[in-house]
Structure 1
Amino acid sequence: MKKIFCYISLALLASSCSKQLELDNPNVPTIAVYWRNANDAVAGTNAIYNSLIQDGTYMRMYPALNDGRGDDFYGDSPWGDLVQVGAFIIPSTSGPVAWVWGGHFQIIWRANQVLANVPGITMDEELKKRLLGQAYFLRGLAYFNLACMFKKVPVITTPPASSEEFFAPTAKEEVLWDQIVNDFKAAKERLPNTYAGISGVDAGQLGRATRGGAAGMLGKAYLYRKNWQAAADEFQAIIGGTYGAYSLMANYRDNFKEINENNAESLFEVQFGQPDQVGGTVMNYGGEPNANWKQVSSTGRTYAMDGYGYSDFLPSRWIYNEFKKEATTDGKSDPRLLATIASYEPGDNATTVYGNAWPFAQTAIYPRKYTHDGLSWPGNDDQENSGINYRVLRYADVLLMHAEALNELTRTSEAYPFIQQVRNRAKLPDLATTKPGLSQGQMRDQIAHERALEFAIESIRINDIIRWGWLYDATKLAELKTHDNDFTTWKSGKEYLPIPQAELDTNKYLEPNPAN
């Protein structure tokens, strides 16, 4: 992003300076000469994906600042920001909050460059359409995340034509969500179901946005705005196979390992790789683009338990106990427990950690999801070299969101089969038998329970809590306080991250949000 910004600055300066002074760097092309051919279009689109693997996005801080605010996770770190975010007292001067803001607007900046410049390039029209679809999808994803984290932000859809456009005003919340919906719609119209069988430089490539991913995120946006029928329609199309064959993986943990990535359950995931797989020598935290950047995730090290990582967060005792509420059909604990949480379970081989006997107190619990516990470990060398892809949208989420939409449409009985597909993988009994005839309100609580177990430590729980209005329901808020003591310090509006103070100081058109 900074490099592109420099191109604009150089172009503007060159137009106003003496002809005797040559300001253009011949080694750094300006915007005026960059967007010339298909290679430029592909490289520009690839650059948007690069923004997904930096610290302010999915490399570390997007998961951390979202998981930390849920009732299934809490900060246990010497880094104050990671504790403060969970207690809803993080200041507007927080570095990690600024990184998340900057990382997502970098995605938007790069997507806007593609959307503004690629349409005019003479190239294969089908490839052009796919590239534009990816840019719309990634911009929509960035705005979706910003809306969930900050509530209201500027909506910028074109590169600035002059310095007067550098400072965009805060958009109304409705305008922001309309943009999210429109971006995912535009993406869905242009993207293929799969890159297998197409012709072009992107043929067969995994990890690029697809029509199914766009439809899934569009349905999720509808659901978050309580447009139940539109959400149900999108989810039903995915379930019905309109956008390809999606299904649940037999092994739940295949969704969080470095093997079996981009599998049948994944509608979209962020691609990471260890240096011995994809190269790189410089950590990809962000800043000036560097050809030697690694493509690693730091989440595996940030969440890993004492002695194997930073152990910056711990699961709440509540979510551990929630997994224990219902036995499987063969009388065991929910298998998702030990895929999500490392704990001492006598008689189970998961009582080992990284191949060693359980070294902690028998009551201790640690995160296991998105860590390398039980998998290959890239090395305890003060480097965050995890290659585990981050799953942004899974088919299990589509099934449970569809059930939720049906329930809100007063079609509660129709929700059971979609919930049961997720329960079947966990070997849980038939819900229609154990809890037949649930009312709409009872089904809401059941879906909330199912989602807590299925998506614990996946950056989703706080979004569910916010959109369900639990923080403003006295009974639900009291429950949250029993789940996680952090909620005792929550105050109205503080469920969001504050707009970074440096942004407010720089942009006079930017409004504070309820967390400021």
Structure 2
Amino acid sequence: MKKILNNLLILSASLLLGSCSNKLDILPEGAVSESNFWRTSDDAVLGANAMYQPFDGEEFYGRGYMWFINASDDMVTGRINTNVDAIKNFSSTYYSSSYTVDQWNMRYSVIRRANDVISKIPAISMDATLKNRLMGEAYFLSGLMYFQLAYNYGDSRAGLPIITRENNNDPNPTPRAANVDANYTYIESELKKAAKLLPMLAQLGTANYGRPHKVAAWGYLSKMYLYKKDYVNAEKYADSVINFGNRALLDNYGDVFKAANNYSSEYIWSAVSTAKGAAGWGSILPGVMLENKGWGKYNGWGYYQPTKELYDAYETGDTRREVTILKPGDKFMFFGVENTYSSVNSLSGYQFRKYMEPFSYASPVGSHISSNGDHPTTDLNVPLLRYAEILLIKAEAALMQNKNADKEINLVRRRAGLENISNATMADLKKQRRCELAGEWADRHRDLVRWGDAQAVYAQPLHGFSGSVIWPSRTFNPAVHHVWAVPQKEIDRSNGIITQNQGW
């Protein structure tokens, strides 16, 4: 991944391979044509690297996608913003707003680039091991992008358009699949092919850490099956990670969120990020969650602030709470100086703490945090899927089959400084997912939706540190709001071939 980052930082001005005016154009286009590309091993590597270019977009893993997760009861929008308030309130006015409108397009751009890799690389005469790895990366990213699209936009009434190698260059719009199960079937196929071709993490070599590996494919297969409610296979692939993945919990929960441990035993898949270059590269989430204006030292954006409901969800003695949340009066390091936390603009009075390690150092700009506060990347890879979640997927799948899940739940509890429990229930599982994964891409909102809890939870107001109401109760209609609205520009672009989700 270091090689990918170096290439993308160097080539960002030319947007890779040519003179495309739109950074999301599918390669190869522009100055490089089909006739003179996809011929050599170097072409194959460069073509595969291009799949990652959209990951630097601030809306990809930094802000836009997080607005969907922000709908949960764990956090509130830090500053008044009409567009994003509409998202949190499930208002039909949100779907034309700028923050989430490109989620669909960005992920399909990765899918189309992955399809090119899968179509073109087999004919290239090159090292077989490298060829398999690059093909595996493409299958993995295709499956992952479809998964992130499917659970946000697809349901039993309409799935997502399936762009395959066969129709990748068809200029005609592709209609939506009949239902989301069709997408899950396709995702299953893509991720299984990825798992077959990809090496284990240790076989990648440190220079390629951050690229897909076999255990990441197993992990996302497990999570996909959980969402599909295929609990037998969810458990099966979680067991593959647990028994054969060489993964383990770190002893100290706080160590998970240190850049030095980006590729620790708990790592499964993360948003690779760097502070290097003119504006850094990767996820801007740590900067987005930082106090607005960063107490005068850095351009924090002041979004996604914890609620009192989240703070109070932790049991007495749970060490994860202090790692996860800053409350007024807490001590923390910022730019090499110990500070006492207070906020001049946090709606809730709290701030997420788990992504703040890069800001703790003296003179961190350029080494730990981006020199461009308008693109506040850091050297911390924001976790997207980690081993603790795999344990909790295994536990949930077991409970849904009326099996005992004490072993997995207690592994997570003990690391948090809590005592073992016996005969764990779904209520125990739900609490552990919330407290372990708060503020992460595990997606508390999606958990509440798939458990059938969203309507009741969102009917309650949210509170801040002082105990006052900071967000009123909301109306969540399970028949409509279980999926998000298809971006209107995608419907318009397809001349209505792509249809809106019912009720939006």
TM-score (norm 2): 0.83
| Pairing partner for 2:397 from 405, 408, 416 | 405
| Pairing partner for 1:189 from 193, 196, 209 | 196
Deviation string 1:206-248 (CA, Å, 9 cap, x unpaired) is 11111100001001111111111111111112111x23x1011
| Pairing partner for 1:315 from 297, 306, 330 | 306
Does the CA-based 8 Å contact 1:316-1:483 persist in structure 2? no
Listed as ranges, the matches of 1:488-507 within 5 Å are 488-491=474-477, 492-507=479-494
Does the CA-based 8 Å contact 1:59-1:299 persist in structure 2? yes
Listed as ranges, the matches of 1:110-129 within 5 Å are 110-129=113-132
- Higher alpha-carbon deviation: 214-223 or 116-125: 116-125
Q: Does 1:478 align with 2:456?
A: yes
Q: Does 1:327 align with 2:316?
A: yes
Q: How far is 1:466 from its partner? A: 1.6
1:49 alignment partner in structure 2? 52
1:417 alignment partner in structure 2? 407
Provide the C-alpha distance between the structure 2 equivalents of 1:374 and 1:5, rounded to a whole number of angstroms. 36
Q: Structure 1 pair 5/374, CA: closer, same or farther in 2 (3 Å)?
A: closer
Q: Does 1:32 align with 2:35?
A: yes
Q: Structure 1 pair 230/381, CA: closer, same or farther in 2 (3 Å)?
A: closer
Deviation string 1:285-325 (CA, Å, 9 cap, x unpaired) is xxxxxxxxx414321221112441221222111001111xx
One-letter amino acid matched to 1:456: A
Provide the C-alpha distance between the structure 1 equivalents of 2:122 and 2:90, rounded to a whole number of angstroms. 44
| Pairing partner for 1:369 from 320, 344, 354 | 354
Does the CA-based 8 Å contact 1:212-1:238 persist in structure 2? yes
One-letter amino acid matched to 1:298: I
1:463 alignment partner in structure 2? 446
Does the CA-based 8 Å contact 2:216-2:269 persist in structure 1? yes
Q: Structure 1 pair 55/383, CA: closer, same or farther in 2 (3 Å)?
A: closer
Listed as ranges, the matches of 1:299-310 within 5 Å are 299-308=285-294, 309-310=300-301
Does the CA-based 8 Å contact 1:82-1:312 persist in structure 2? no
Provide the C-alpha distance between the structure 1 equivalents of 2:42 and 2:334, rounded to a whole number of angstroms. 49
2:272 alignment partner in structure 1? 271
Q: Does 1:169 align with 2:179?
A: no
Secondary structure at the counterpart of residue 431 of structure 1: coil
Q: Structure 1 pair 127/225, CA: closer, same or farther in 2 (3 Å)?
A: same
- Higher alpha-carbon deviation: 355-364 or 216-225: 355-364
1:429 alignment partner in structure 2? 419
Does the CA-based 8 Å contact 1:344-1:358 persist in structure 2? yes
Q: Does 1:338 align with 2:322?
A: yes
Deviation string 1:249-269 (CA, Å, 9 cap, x unpaired) is 122223233332111101111
Q: How far is 1:416 from its partner? A: 0.2
| Pairing partner for 1:75 from 74, 77, 90 | 77
Q: Structure 1 pair 54/71, CA: closer, same or farther in 2 (3 Å)?
A: same
Does the CA-based 8 Å contact 2:17-2:31 persist in structure 1? no
2:435 alignment partner in structure 1? 453
Deviation string 1:446-500 (CA, Å, 9 cap, x unpaired) is 10111000111113111211211223xxxxx333432644651333412432111
Deviation string 1:357-398 (CA, Å, 9 cap, x unpaired) is 233489821222324576235379643332221211100000
Provide the C-alpha distance between the structure 2 equivalents of 1:490 and 1:162, rounded to a whole number of angstroms. 39
Identity rate, percent? 26
Q: Structure 1 pair 159/95, CA: closer, same or farther in 2 (3 Å)?
A: farther
Q: Which has the larger radius of gyration?
A: 1
Q: Does 1:355 align with 2:362?
A: no
Provide the C-alpha distance between the structure 2 equivalents of 1:233 and 1:221, rounded to a whole number of angstroms. 12
- Higher alpha-carbon deviation: 92-101 or 420-429: 92-101
Deviation string 1:99-148 (CA, Å, 9 cap, x unpaired) is 21121111111111101111111111111111111101111111111112
Provide the C-alpha distance between the structure 2 equivalents of 1:117 and 1:61, rounded to a whole number of angstroms. 32
Q: How far is 1:81 from its partner? A: 2.4
Does the CA-based 8 Å contact 1:207-1:269 persist in structure 2? yes
Q: Structure 1 pair 157/499, CA: closer, same or farther in 2 (3 Å)?
A: same
- Higher alpha-carbon deviation: 47-56 or 448-457: 47-56
Deviation string 1:141-190 (CA, Å, 9 cap, x unpaired) is 11111112212321101275765x44111112121111111111111111
Secondary structure at the counterpart of residue 429 of structure 1: coil
Q: Structure 1 pair 237/382, CA: closer, same or farther in 2 (3 Å)?
A: closer
- Higher alpha-carbon deviation: 302-311 or 167-176: 302-311
Listed as ranges, the matches of 1:115-264 within 5 Å are 115-151=118-154, 152-158=159-165, 160=167, 165-172=171-178, 173-196=180-203, 204-240=207-243, 242-243=244-245, 245-264=246-265
Q: How far is 1:60 from its partner? A: 2.7
Q: Does 1:88 align with 2:90?
A: yes
Provide the C-alpha distance between the structure 1 equivalents of 2:349 and 2:487, rounded to a whole number of angstroms. 36
Q: Structure 1 pair 236/483, CA: closer, same or farther in 2 (3 Å)?
A: farther
Q: Structure 1 pair 502/3, CA: closer, same or farther in 2 (3 Å)?
A: farther
Q: Structure 1 pair 257/103, CA: closer, same or farther in 2 (3 Å)?
A: farther
TM-score (norm 1): 0.81
Q: Structure 1 pair 410/99, CA: closer, same or farther in 2 (3 Å)?
A: same
Secondary structure at the counterpart of residue 488 of structure 1: coil
Q: Does 1:297 align with 2:272?
A: no
Does the CA-based 8 Å contact 1:496-1:515 persist in structure 2? no
Secondary structure at the counterpart of residue 268 of structure 1: strand
Query: How many residues are paired up?
Result: 453
Gapped regions of structure 2 (runs ≥ 5): 1-13, 23-27, 295-299, 463-470
RMSD over aligned Cα, in angstroms?
Answer: 2.9
Does the CA-based 8 Å contact 1:97-1:497 persist in structure 2? no
Provide the C-alpha distance between the structure 1 equivalents of 2:438 and 2:475, rounded to a whole number of angstroms. 22
Q: Which has the higher contact order (CA 8 A, sep 6+)?
A: 1
